[in-house]
Chains A and B, each alone.
Chain A
Amino acid sequence: MRTSFMSQMQRSFSIELPKLVPLQLPSRMETHLWYVLPDEVKSTSLLKHYSQLLSPSEKDKVLQMRGDELQKNALLARTLVRTTIARYQTNNAVDPRTLMFKKNMYGKPEVDWQNYKNCNDPPLHFNISHTDSLVACGVTVHVPVGIDLEDKERKIKHDVLTLAERFYSTDEVKFLSTIPDPEVQRKEFIKLWTLKEAYVKALGKGFSAAPFNTFTIQSTAGTNGGYNLCKEKTEECNRDWKFGLLELAGSHYAAICTENDQANGGAPMRVIVRKTIPFVEDGLISESIFL
C-alpha cells in the first residue's frame, strides 16, 4: 500500500537542526536569487522539519497536490520562502514559522509584517517560481520583483509559431518567425515566455492587467543582457522595468523583472545567485551568465 508523502513525514523522527544563518539584505541595485534542487533534498527527517515550518493552510495546499513529487516541491517552495525571508531579518532573529503572508488585491503573495512593529528593515519583496526540478525565490528591497523559470528542454506540444501568433505581440511573432532552426525557435519562445511571465508577476496586478499580446520584450543589442519593454500598439518603450535572463543550474532559464528604481539611475540588473538547502548549506554561484 502506497503511503502518501505527508504521512511519511508525520512518521519520521525530526532531528535537531542548527539555527538559520542570517543574511545581509540585497542592496537597492541587486536582486538575490535563491534556488533549491529537489533531487538534492532526500532526507526524510529534513523534509519533516520543513513541513513543521508551514502554516496549517500551507500544509493543506501541499497535501492537495496530486502526487508525491508535486507535494515535495510544493513543500520546498514554501520552505524556501519562509527560511529565506526569515534570514534577512537582521534586527531580531525571526522564527520562519511565525512569518505571515497575505495577498495583494490582485492575488500576489506578499509578507504581512503586522506582527513586527519594530522592524526597521526596508520592505522586502519576493516572488517564487518552480518547475518539476527546480524551486527558486527572488528577493529585492524597495522594488517589486517577478521571476519565472522554465526547463530549457521543455517540449512544446503545439507549433511554436501558432502559439506565438495566438498569445504574443506582433513584433515577437516577427522575431520568432525569422528563426530558421526549430530548436532555436523553441528556445527563444521559452525565453520570451519567462520574460513576459516575470513582468506580469512583477507588476502583480493579475493577468488581465497585461495580456501577453499587449507588450513586446526585445533584447537591446549591445548591452549585456538588457531588454526593452514596449507597448504593442503605440510601440512606446518604457524604462520603468528592468529585465534579466539567466541560465540556472545548467538546466533552466530564469527570467527576473524588477521595477526600475530612479535612485539607482537605471543601472543594469545585478543578480546574486545562490543555491541552497535550507538549514544545511548555501553555495554562491559566482558566474551568472546573462543571456
Chain B
Amino acid sequence: MATSFCSSISMQARVSATRTRFCLQKQVLVSNNGKSNNNNLSFSLRRSMPARLAVSCAAKQETVEKVSEIVKKQLSLTDDQKVTAGTKFTELGADSLDTVEIVMGLEEEFGITMAEERAKEIATVQQAAELIEELVQEKTT
C-alpha cells in the first residue's frame, strides 16, 4: 500500500484586546494503492493555555467542506461553480438575504448561534468556518 504524506503546519495569529487562542494544526493526506482518495485527516493539537492567551488558526478542512455544502445548497449552485475556502459569498451571487439564510443553515448544522454583527462580517467560506470553530470551541470549554 503506497502512502504519501504531505504535512503542513499553518498558523495564523490574530490578537484581540481581550483574548486570543493558540492552536497548532497539521494536515495529513493519505492515499491507498495509488488511487487518488479524498480522505483528509487533520489533527489539531491544542495546548491548554491560560484563558487569556490563544491565537485562532485556519479552520479545519472538514468545517470548510461542510460550510461549502450549505452554501451550495442555499444558492442552488451548478457543478461548475466551484466553492473553495477563499470564495466570497458575493462572488457566488449571494445577497444579504442569502447570507442570513446561510448563517441560519450553519447555526443549525453546528448547533451554535452567531451574533448578527459577526455574522454579517463573514465574507468568505473560510471566515464562516473560522467563526464556527470559535463558537463551537466556546460552547465546549
Contact residues of A with B, CB < 8 Å? Answer: 2, 64-67, 70, 73, 131-132, 148, 150, 154, 156-158, 162-163, 166-167, 190, 193, 197, 207-208, 211-213
Contact = CB atoms under 8 A, between A and B. Distances in A.
Contacts of B74: 157
A191 B87 CA distance: 29
B95 A131 contact: yes
A70 B117 contact: no
Interface of B: 74, 78, 80-82, 87-88, 91-93, 95-97, 100-101, 104-105, 116-117, 120
Given A156-B101, A166-B104, A67 B116 contact: no
Contact of B80 (A67, A158, A162, A211): A67
Given A157-B74, A158-B101, 13 more contacts: A64-B91, A65-B91, A65-B93, A66-B91, A70-B92, A70-B93, A148-B96, A150-B97, A156-B101, A157-B101, A208-B117, A212-B116, A213-B116
Contact of B82 (A65, A66, A158): A66
A190 B82 CA distance: 29
A285 B88 CA distance: 36
Contacts of A158: 101, 104-105
Q: Which of A66, A154, A156, A166 has the most CB of B within 10 A?
A: A66
A170 to B, nearest CB: 15
Contact of A67 (B78, B88, B105, B117): B78
Nearest to A67: B81
A163 B100 contact: yes
Nearest to B115: A211
29 contacts: A64-B88, A64-B91, A66-B91, A66-B92, A66-B93, A67-B78, A67-B81, A67-B93, A73-B93, A131-B95, A148-B96, A150-B97, A156-B97, A156-B101, A157-B101, A163-B100, A163-B101, A163-B104, A166-B104, A167-B116, A190-B97, A197-B96, A207-B117, A207-B120, A208-B120, A211-B116, A211-B117, A212-B116, A213-B116
A167 to B, nearest CB: 6
B93 A132 contact: yes
A171 B135 CA distance: 30
A4 to B, nearest CB: 11
Contacts of B81: 66-67
B104 A193 contact: no
A281 to B, nearest CB: 27
- The 8 closest A-B CB pairs, nearest first, are A207-B120, A70-B93, A208-B117, A66-B81, A211-B116, A66-B91, A64-B91, A158-B104
